[in-house]
Amino acid sequence: MTAPQNAVPPIAGARKLLLVMSDLLFRSKIDEVARRLGLELRVAKSPEQLDRQLAAGEPALAIVDLEEGALDSFAAIARIRTASPGTPVLGFAGHGNVEAIRRAREGGATVLARSGFTAQLPELLTQVANRERVRAGE
């Protein structure tokens, strides 16, 4: 992916966002907002990639597509919770996917409907960026 023209330099010392999803279009939307705020992404599209990304360091936030077909989203939430207990996990799904929402919440994730997630994305990532700036001493 190429950096958007209005991207800012990455926040020095900031932890990265961990995206558990394979949807390229949705990832691109998240990446665009993140780069404008100085945040960088790591992506996991398989259990092996998730394990590697978690081994690379604690994420600032894990974002999980609860309707991901390439890997079990609920197992991914459990892996994140085990490997990085302090990492906030945010899941999203279609508002009618009640079972996925219930299971993700039981696993310790905060869950938003896909439309709410999209609408709140700039605010959510601004909060993460502000927290990372404080943590990094900026």
Going along the chain from its start, the domains and CATH numbers come out as: 17-136 (3.40.50.2300)
40, 61 in Cβ contact below 8 A?
A: no
CA 10 to chain centre: 16
pLDDT tens-digit profile of 18-47? 999 999 999 999 999 999 999 999 999 999
Nearest to 79 by CA among 112, 44, 110, 111: 44
d(CA 40, CA 71): 22
Distance CA 116, CA 118 (A): 5
pTM of structure: 0.92
Q: How far is CA 7 from the centre of its chain?
A: 18
Averaged over 67-80, what is the pLDDT?
Answer: 93
Q: Does position 4 have pLDDT exceeding 70, yes or no?
A: no
Whether residue 94 contacts residue 74, with contact meaning beta carbons closer than 8 Å, is answered with no
What single DSSP character describes residue 39? -
The more confident residue out of 5 and 105 is 105
| pLDDT for res 113 | 94
Structure confidence by residue, pLDDT tens digits, 86-132: 999 999 999 899 999 999 999 999 999 999 999 999 999 999 999 99
